[in-house]
Amino acid sequence: MAETTLIKKVLIANRGEIAVRVIRACRELGGIDVVAVYSDADREALHVRYADEVYPIGAAAPRASYLNIERLIAVARRSGADAIHPGYGFLSERAEFAQACQDEGIIFIGPPPDAIARMGDKLKARALMQQAGVPVVPGTEPGLDDESLRRAAGQIGYPLVVKAAAGGGGKGMRIVREPSQFEPALQAAHREAEAAFGDGTVYLEKLIEGARHIEFQILADLHGNTIHLGERECSIQRRHQKLFEESPSSFMDDDLRARMGAVAIRAAQAVDYVNAGTVEFLVDPDKNFYFLEMNTRLQVEHPVTELVTGVDLVKEQIRIARGRKMGPEDGVTLKGWAVECRINAEDPYNNFLPSVGQVTVHIAPTGPGVRLDSGIYAGYEVTPYYDSLLAKLIAWGETRGEAVLRMRRALAEYKIMGLKTNLPFHQKLMDSTRFQAGRIHTSFAEEFMIMRDEDANTDRAEVAAILATLVEHQQRQQSSQIVARPKRDVSNWKWFSRWERMSR
């Protein structure tokens, strides 16, 4: 269908692998220049090196840079950007950022401010979903004080969950299994929610034991058309943070997929949603499903949907923002299976403690059915200022078994040295017979994926052997040089200063 709005330059209000991902989509669409922004800590980041124009936006701390709406809008004005893509995280689900773009006449490649605001408040979203006939987990209504929450806890029954009203990602969330745990969990959730979101409001939900976390990807255009692109299974989590995703889910059947997909579309239409979004559900062992939340942005795990549908979601976001009208032909079918491992700078043998430092070796896996979305390279400095996500490793196969075997091979090939990563966790996950059989739920990682020191010793021995081989190779290379020559940079990165646009 025809597109009516011209987008010639996109500013990416983000960093890391998602910024690189958006740059690639703009390149493939053709005719779109890319503006990148960077903090003091990100001057040498990959997204900065790939963009057409780059602008510094402040100190390393997110509030001084990537969360600074005024500076981002100022860069958009100065660069002449027609549109802003927010990526995920940072300002991607901030209604005031979408509104600021709208007020400046800049296209926000995402949903309208009102949809973000209505789905961003989890309590209001629950009430709205109930009005729309969407099933929700039993819990409390908006606006209850602590005393009312204490009374409601007894009525809901244990186990239950205390959850932040204003956010997601597991922050401000506490599981309570018995009455004696309620008060400390309530106060801890208040404090964490206030620190993370500036709003300490919480509510209660019944804990669904043995539940799966299954979400539906939706696309909605500016003309009132909404479709879904199947589901993603996101049940492998640690402290409510997703570690592994796949599409489709081995738990689903055609009837359940049709019913949940229809509900996901209804949920999006209830807030007049536009662009890409994700409706998340909890599904109990009896296949009863409940609305959890709606993420009004592109998801970290979007690549698995792209591989099984053949739809480039970032390109579709841009096309929808340009006015593309989806038609009946935009219905999609799922082909094969895709799995994704989030590769984080964390030590799985030390309670997943974040790791920082320079990436000294980065050997990326390749081969049939393997995709790597990454923002790192050998020499890249991982700092403590941002999320620990380094890369996303994705594998596709005709069947789930083939996808898992392909992922096992890719994980074995992937080498990141200089800091700790969770690669050993994912290797152990691929070897789990429970996981291979699809017998997973949201507590699976904490119950069955205990990382032991004896496993770490084996991994360290392998790392030592690889490092010894690299040192030997370097020594041989040096000894084979008859005449020492000065090092010469033959990459185009040395021209960095020629095209960098500095804000002064």
User: Which residues have a catalytic role annotated?
Assistant: 297
In total, the chain counts a number of residues equal to 504
Q: Report d(CA 130, CA 124) in Å as an integer.
A: 10
User: Cα 490–493–494 angle (5° rounding)?
Assistant: 70
Phi, psi of 214 (to 5 degrees): -125, 130
Where residue 103 falls (left for φ over 0; alpha for ψ -120 to 50; beta otherwise) is alpha
Phi, psi of 204 (to 5 degrees): -115, 145
Q: Report d(CA 60, CA 147) in Å as an integer.
A: 41
Secondary structure class of 43 (helix, strand, coil): coil
Q: Report d(CA 463, CA 458) in Å as an integer.
A: 9
Q: How many CB atoms lie within 10 A of CB 41?
A: 18
| Peptide bond connecting 424 to the previous residue in cis, omega within 30 degrees of 0 | no
Output the six-digit token pair for 87.
């990526």
Among 67, 11, 8, 26, which residue's Cα sits nearest to residue 317? 26
Among 246, 227, 224, which residue's Cα sits nearest to residue 235? 246
